Structures are given as C-alpha cells and as structure tokens.
C-alpha cells in the first residue's frame, strides 16, 4: 500500500473539484478571500496558516505554508517561534481542559 | 561553522564549463521551452526596448566565494579587465546616450583600475552603480572606498541575502554578516541610505535556498524594520533577486537534489509581464575581455550577443545592438518567474 500522504498530492488537489464543482467553487472563493490582505498583513496570514497547519497536523499545509513563508523571507528561526507559540497554546488548552475534571471533582467530591 | 567551497574553476569540475552547465539544464524534463513561453506571450524573439544601462564586468576576482555565485568568482580567479578595455567602454559610452554604468564583478573594487574607471565615467556625466559585496569595504586597502563613492556620487548596490546573520553567513561565509553590517554603518555615516541625492544605497537580497521571493515590497519592509531595530542601519531600496541555476548555485542545486523541482517551479511561474520587463531589454553587458553579451548570466554561460551584432566593445554600435535579437536558454526562466528578477530587482 502506498503512503497515505505523498508530496506529489498537492499538485492534483484540484481534482477534488469534479465531485462537487459548486461547493468546491464556494470553498475556493472563501479560502482565497479569507487569505487576502486586509486588516491583517500577508505575513500575519501566512503565519496563521502555518500555525493551523501544525495544529491540524496537515503535511500538505505545513509544506505549503513553509514554502509561502520562505517566499517572503521568513526562515526556520521565524517558523520555530511560530511552532513554539502554537505548541505552548496547545499545552495550555490541554491544561485548560483539566478544568472540566476540576469542576466535576469540585461538584461531586467531598 | 559555515564553510564555502573554493571556485568550481579551482576544483577543475566539469560544471566549471559553461557548456556543461547548459547541458545540465537541458537534460531536465520541462513541459515547455523558454522560447515557446516567450512566443506564447508574443515576445519572441526577445529584443531590446532601449539600451539604457551598460553593465561592465571588470573581473572575476573576489574576496569571497559565495555558495550561490553565478560568476564562480573568488580569490583564485585571474580574469581582470585591463585599462585599455575600460577605455574602449568609455569610448563606446561617449558615442552613445547610455545613462547608467553598472560596474560588477567579482568584487569590482579589486580591479586595479576601478577608481580610474569610475572617475572617467563620472566625467562623461553618466550615473555609476557599484555592485558591492560590502566586506571588501572592510579590507585595509579598500577602507577609504565609501568616501570615494560619496565624492563621486556613486550608487552603491550591496549584497545582503538576509537580515539574519546565520542565513547570510550560510551563503556567503563565516563572519560576512557582521562585517557587512559594519560596512553599512560606515556608508550610513556618510549619508548613504537616507534618501539623499548622490548617496543612494540599495540592498540586494537573494534566497538562501531553492525557492524564490514572492513579494519584494514585503521583504523590503521586513529588512527595514529588522536592520533598523537591530543595527540602526538604513537603506533606500531593497532588490530581491532570484538565484540563477548556473555555476556554483547550479552545483548546490544538483548536490542537494533540488535542481529538477527548482527549475520546474521557475518554469511554471513564467510571467509574461516579468519577461516584458527583463533587464536584457535595456542593458548590454561587457565581459572582462571586452566581449558583449545580453546579460551577465549569458556572459557566464559563454553566450555572446547574436551573430551579426557587434560582439566586442571596440565595435560598439548602439543602433545595431538595439536591433539585435536576445539570446535565450533555459536559465532565462530565472528572470521571468513570478515578480521577475533583474539587477534592479522585480520587473513585474
């Protein structure tokens, strides 16, 4: 069995369109618009994309947003900072979820 | 520790030969040839618009041996333009209305006749740009060059691949970043980089790796902020260049197995607007021996101007050169990808 993720996949990502062109077009337009420069800069949006890609563990997106980051002069030093910010927030979220246990214990414990 | 390799020429590698470099590029599978893309864009054959710049490569000697150098320049190179050939360039300028002389190398300042040539070009009333690697300004025999530049209103176009030291040193050699910053501060102290006429300071960034820069404006803002905050360094403009898949950068692409995807990416990013603004359309390039080329890259690939056009600066004829067809090959995809790349930065 071939690997599920292949670095050649992104080149034919667009083939998914044929299964539902209407929804594909809507998503495509939304994605394009959301990543246009607005109040947030192109740099900020690329770093958001990179952080989400890490969080969602999507190799395609990590590849794509690393390449985009390189193309605006960002380096692994920048991406490492973004990675640590992402990772620390994830750790914080994990701890924050411990509040659920804390609350249950507070309510049901003696 | 960042090590840069000696020149291809000194290592006597096949890739030191221009013919082998072109053959290496030709062996790659590409969907469409450069000339086909030009034809699709209605630009074939490529011809000059108006020749406004004479780029003079005064030699291949350099105090650095950068990993991406398209000239294969270095301390061991011996090709140096003679004063007689420089005089031929001056004669050609005198009988033309070319407004700018772009002096390049190697480290052009290492040519023993550099200062004489700059003075003579300025005496003709032409603008001079010096393509400077910055570290040369910190060597004992060249420390007074910033003052010389200021005295003659020379525009200084400096290489600085990145505003982070490690990146710069990885490409250009250990300690280059720190030395470059010292040189930039001395240029700043003379008024360079502050928007003052006659003190124009341009930085040239190029990717440290197998990718291209997509947004010159954004990069300039990043450089301005980082260099200002970290070092108090100012500059007038940033040019972003694409690394050309020739010479030592080609060697690195081959060894790192990045050549095929890099060339494919350049070819796929062909931009007709960038091609229309390519520097070969307003520039003529002179080699250290006086031979004429469409650009410095063609010069390094031993691709002289087309048959029928004057091929040596002693025969310089502006009208005939303006009418010539420009020689192209696969490396030209480097100038036409995305925003485009030229000695003046993006072209689209």
B145-156 pLDDT, tens digit per residue, is 999 999 999 999
Helix (H) or strand (E) segment spanning residue B132: strand B127-132
Q: Report the candidate in B40, B30, B82 with the shortest Cα–Cα distance to residue B272.
A: B40
What would the two tokens of residue A68 be? Answer: 């985009």
pLDDT digits 0-9 by tens, B305-328: 999 999 999 999 999 999 999 999
Q: What is the pLDDT of residue B344?
A: 86
Q: What is the pLDDT of residue A8?
A: 82
Q: What is the mean pLDDT of residues B203-226?
A: 94
Candidate from A41, A43, A71 with C-beta closest to B211:
A71
Number of domains in chain A: 1
Q: What is the mean pLDDT of residues B221-241?
A: 97
B contacts of A71 (beta carbons < 8 Å): 211-215
ipTM above 0.85, yes or no: no
As a whole number of angstroms, the distance between CA B335 and CA B343 comes to 10
Q: What is the pLDDT of residue A5?
A: 85
Q: What is the mean pLDDT of residues B247-267?
A: 96
As a whole number of angstroms, the distance between CA B11 and CA B8 comes to 5
Per the domain annotation, does A21 fall within a domain?
Answer: no
Q: What is the mean pLDDT of residues A10-39?
A: 95
As a whole number of angstroms, the distance between CA A69 and CA B311 comes to 43
Q: Is the pLDDT score of B342 beyond 90?
A: no
CA dihedral B60, B65, B66, B71 (to 10 degrees): 20
**What is the DSSP secondary structure assignment for residue B301, as one 8-state letter?**
T
Whether residue A75 and residue B212 make contact (CB cut-off 8 A), yes or no, is no
Q: Residue B343 — very low, low, confident or very high, per pLDDT cuts 50/70/90?
A: confident
Q: What is the pLDDT of residue B345?
A: 85
Burial of B16 (0-12, 13-18, 19+ CB in 10 A): middle
Find all residues with CB under 8 Å of B184, minimum gap 6, and list them.
B134, B158, B160, B193, B201, B227, B231, B233, B235
Q: Is the pLDDT score of A16 beyond 50?
A: yes
Per the domain annotation, does A26 fall within a domain?
Answer: no
B contacts of A68 (beta carbons < 8 Å): 214
Q: What is the pLDDT of residue A1?
A: 53
Per the domain annotation, does A18 fall within a domain?
Answer: no
Q: What is the pLDDT of residue A24?
A: 97
As a whole number of angstroms, the distance between CA B93 and CA B100 comes to 9
Q: Work out the mean pLDDT of chain B and round it to a whole number.
A: 95
Q: Residue B1 — very low, low, confident or very high, per pLDDT cuts 50/70/90?
A: very low
Candidate from A71, A75, A77 with C-beta closest to B214:
A71
Q: Nearest chain A residue to B209 by CA: give it.
A: A70
Q: Is the pLDDT score of B220 beyond 80?
A: yes
Q: Nearest chain A residue to B163 by CA: give it.
A: A73
Give the count of beta carbons closer than 10 Å to the beta carbon of residue B312. 16
**Nearest-CA distance B34 → chain A (Å):** 22
Q: Residue B3 — very low, low, confident or very high, per pLDDT cuts 50/70/90?
A: low
Q: What is the mean pLDDT of residues B333-343?
A: 92
Domain carrying residue A54: 40-110
Per the domain annotation, does A23 fall within a domain?
Answer: no
Give percent of chain B with pLDDT exceeding 70: 99
What kind of fold does domain B8-336 have according to CATH?
TIM Barrel (3.20.20)
As a whole number of angstroms, the distance between CA B68 and CA B329 comes to 19
pLDDT digits 0-9 by tens, B25-80: 999 999 999 999 999 999 999 999 999 999 999 999 999 999 999 999 999 999 99
pLDDT digits 0-9 by tens, B88-139: 999 999 999 999 999 999 999 999 999 999 999 999 999 999 999 999 999 9
Per the domain annotation, does A75 fall within a domain?
Answer: yes
Q: What is the pLDDT of residue B347?
A: 87
Q: What is the pLDDT of residue A52?
A: 97
pLDDT digits 0-9 by tens, A45-90: 999 999 999 999 999 999 999 999 999 999 999 999 999 999 999 9
Whether chain B has a CB inside 8 Å of the CB on A71: the answer is yes
Domain spans, chain B? 8-336
Q: Residue A4 — very low, low, confident or very high, per pLDDT cuts 50/70/90?
A: confident
Q: Work out the mean pLDDT of chain A and round it to a whole number.
A: 94
Q: What is the number of CB-based contacts under 8 A between chain A and chain B?
A: 35
């Amino acid at each position: 069995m071939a690997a599920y993720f292949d670095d050649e996949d992104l080149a034919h990502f667009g083939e998914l369109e044929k299964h539902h062109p209407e929804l594909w077009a809507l998503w495509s337009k939304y994605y394009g618009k959301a990543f246009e420069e607005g109040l947030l800069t192109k740099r900020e949006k690329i770093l958001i994309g990179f952080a989400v890609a890490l969080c969602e563990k999507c190799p395609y997106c990590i590849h794509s947003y690393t390449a985009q980051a390189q193309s605006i002069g960002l380096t692994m030093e920048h991406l490492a900072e973004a990675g640590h910010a992402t990772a620390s927030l994830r750790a914080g979220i994990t701890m924050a979820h411990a509040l659920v246990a804390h609350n249950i214990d507070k309510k049901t414990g003696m | 520790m960042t090590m840069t390799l000696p020149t291809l020429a000194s290592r006597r590698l096949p890739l030191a030969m221009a013919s082998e470099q072109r053959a290496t590029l030709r062996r790659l599978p590409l969907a469409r040839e450069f000339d086909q893309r030009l034809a699709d864009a209605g630009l074939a054959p490529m011809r000059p618009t108006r020749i406004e710049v004479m780029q003079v490569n005064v030699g291949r000697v350099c105090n650095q041996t950068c990993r991406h150098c398209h000239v294969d320049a270095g301390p061991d190179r011996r090709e140096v333009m003679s004063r007689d050939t420089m005089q031929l360039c001056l004669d050609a300028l005198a009988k033309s209305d070319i407004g700018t002389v772009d002096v390049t190398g190697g480290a052009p300042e290492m040519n023993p006749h550099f200062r004489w040539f700059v003075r003579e070009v300025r005496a003709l009333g032409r603008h001079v740009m010096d393509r400077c690697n910055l570290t040369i300004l910190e060597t004992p025999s060249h420390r007074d060059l910033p003052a010389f530049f200021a005295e003659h209103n020379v525009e200084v176009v400096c290489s600085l691949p990145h505003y982070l030291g490690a990146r710069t040193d990885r490409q250009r050699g250990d300690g280059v970043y720190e030395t470059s910053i010292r040189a930039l501060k001395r240029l700043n102290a003379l008024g360079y980089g502050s928007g003052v006429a006659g003190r124009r300071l341009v930085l040239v960034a190029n990717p440290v790796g197998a990718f291209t820069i997509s947004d010159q404006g954004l990069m300039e803002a990043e450089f301005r902020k980082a260099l200002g905050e970290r070092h108090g360094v100012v500059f007038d403009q940033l040019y972003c260049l694409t690394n050309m898949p020739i010479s030592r950068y080609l060697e690195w692409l081959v060894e790192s197995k990045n050549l095929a995807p890099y060339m494919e990416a350049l070819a796929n990013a062909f931009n007709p607007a960038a091609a229309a603004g390519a520097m070969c359309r307003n520039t003529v390039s002179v080699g250290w021996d006086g031979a004429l080329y469409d650009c410095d890259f063609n010069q390094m690939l031993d691709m002289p101007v087309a048959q029928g056009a004057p091929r040596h600066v002693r025969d310089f004829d502006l009208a005939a050169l303006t009418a010539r067809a420009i020689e192209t090959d696969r490396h030209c995809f480097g100038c036409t990808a995305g925003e485009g790349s030229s000695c003046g930065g993006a072209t689209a």
